[in-house]
Amino acid sequence: MTAGLPSSASPTLSRRLILLLSIACGIAVANVYFPQAVSPLIADDLHVTAESAAVVVTCAQLGYAAGIFLLVPLGDRLRHRGLVTTLLLLTGAGLVLAGTAGSLPVLAVASVLVGLTTVVPQILIPMAAGLTASERRGAVTGTLLSGLIGGILLARTFSGVLGQWLGWRAPYLVAAALLLVLALAMARALPRTTPATDQRYPALLAASLQLLRTEPLLRRSCQYQVLVFAAFSAAWTALALFVTGPRYDLGTPAVGVIALVGAASMFATPFAGRRVDRRGPDSVNLVCMVGAIAAGALLLTGNLGGAVGLIGLGAGMLLLDVAMQSGQVANQARIFALRPEARARLNTAYMTCAFLGGSAGSWLGVRAYSAFGWSGVCGLVALLSGLALVRHVLRGRPLKAPAEVTAASVPTETEEDDGVPAGR
């Protein structure tokens, strides 16, 4: 029996199950992002500065990065149904703790715990890749990522509006209830899978680091996402401070409205996945990096204020969202084509790096806003995205024409990256 496939050995997923997995990715990942919209409300209720309250966002992302490194490798070691259900229940418990926190330190610790266990999407996506025929892998990955994107962006709308009506605790408690329902659905719907490896846990953790050392394409994908996701996180974290500040003096629902506009990017990822299947990931990465730089310039129009400024913010965040998420499709298609038996560990290395970059971006975004205002944040977005573009332009070239592989024209492991051939 093929490792990681369901016991029925069917290499395909039904449309209904793909839709359910996409929804699950969105609901689960939202827990890392909805604090971005309610951090001003947290500041008011807990009597701390807005900049101090924004640490909740950084803590959630740091916890997520730690969870990806510590827990996602178990996707290769344990059956997916039990692992996913358990993590969803633990996340729900962490959300209850956060929603009842009486001080910022308690909320920060709870945010780390929520982030630590909110790694279900990073288990489901490689699982789905392993259950999908190679010629459809990019499209299925894109579909699941569209659900994940919807969760990321609609989370801010959900928490901004609900928080304004019922207080900042309400989004946490409602999310906990949703996680309980989702856990029950996953316990019933997930296929019975066979673990891809019987390695012990310490060896699984070491394997992710080993893959980073030996796989140049994995390193390159990580570098791309660290930089672009840092730009994305910087912009979204600072946006709540900007639109609730003196320039606009709006409530947290304004962040949700802008996020609702940005949610249109979820329709771009299936298209990006099909493009990856046809043309390979590098061409998609190039367009996304240029788009992210352009988004930094477009976001500057937010300084104009009024309706024009809000339209510019909405358009700029939409462009940045499309660029970041479509680039993610390309990066994950590239890494999932490397070693089919180690997809969870590859994703562990990739997403750990990505969310370390996101955490750094959130911190840098708050610092840039405090020191230089919104213009400083826009400059940071353009700088980070520009560094990713430079890295892409200077990438190594394949030593020979790539053989037929999954995810279309992903280069073979003979690619030279930084002058070092990919060794085994």
Judge whether 4 lies within some domain: no
Computed over every residue of the chain, the mean pLDDT equals 83
- Residue whose C-alpha is closest to residue 346's, from 117, 130, 79: 130
Rg of the chain over all Cα atoms, to the nearest angstrom: 20
pLDDT in tens, 210-260: 999 999 999 999 999 999 999 999 998 899 889 888 888 887 677 777 877
- Give ∠ CA 202-207-210 in degrees, rounded to 5: 130
pLDDT in tens, 255-305: 777 877 766 777 777 788 888 888 889 999 999 999 999 999 999 999 998
Q: Which residues pair with 158 in a beta bridge?
A: none
- Residue whose C-alpha is closest to residue 140's, from 129, 155, 126, 154: 129
Token pair 């950084």 is at which residue? Answer: 58
Q: What is the largest CA-CA distance in the chain?
A: 62
CA distance 298 to 317: 9
Is 131's pLDDT higher than 60?
yes
Assign residue 422 a region (left: φ > 0; alpha: ψ between -120 and 50; beta: otherwise).
beta
At residue 420, the 3 state secondary structure works out as: strand
Instruction: Name the residue range of residue 268's domain.
Output: 15-191+199-421
pLDDT in tens, 35-67: 878 888 898 899 888 778 888 888 998 898 899
Sign of CA dihedral 188, 192, 193, 195: positive
Judge whether 6 lies within some domain: no
Do 203 and 328 touch, CB atoms closer than 8 A? no
Query: Quick one: tokens of 54?
Result: 């924004």
- Residue whose C-alpha is closest to residue 112's, from 167, 57, 182: 57
Q: Which residues pair with 287 in a beta bridge?
A: none
The continuous run of DSSP H or E covering 416 comes out as strand 416-417
Judge whether 292 lies within some domain: yes
**HSE-up of residue 392 (Cα within 13 Å, Cβ side):** 25
What letter would DSSP give residue 411?
P
Token pair 């789905």 is at which residue? Answer: 128
Judge whether 340 lies within some domain: yes
Three-state helix/strand/coil letters over 173-206:
HHHHHHHHHHHHHHHHHCCCECCCCCCCHHHHHH
Q: Specify the number of domains making up the chain.
A: 1
pLDDT in tens, 85-125: 999 999 999 999 999 998 999 999 999 999 999 999 988 98
Over range 148-152, report the average pLDDT.
Answer: 80
- Residue whose C-alpha is closest to residue 62's, from 286, 359, 367: 359
Sign of CA dihedral 71, 328, 128, 180: positive
Q: What is the CATH number of the domain that holds 21?
A: 1.20.1250.20
Strands (E), 7-63: none
Query: Quick one: tokens of 40?
Result: 């001003």
Do 24 and 144 touch, CB atoms closer than 8 A? no
Judge whether 245 lies within some domain: yes
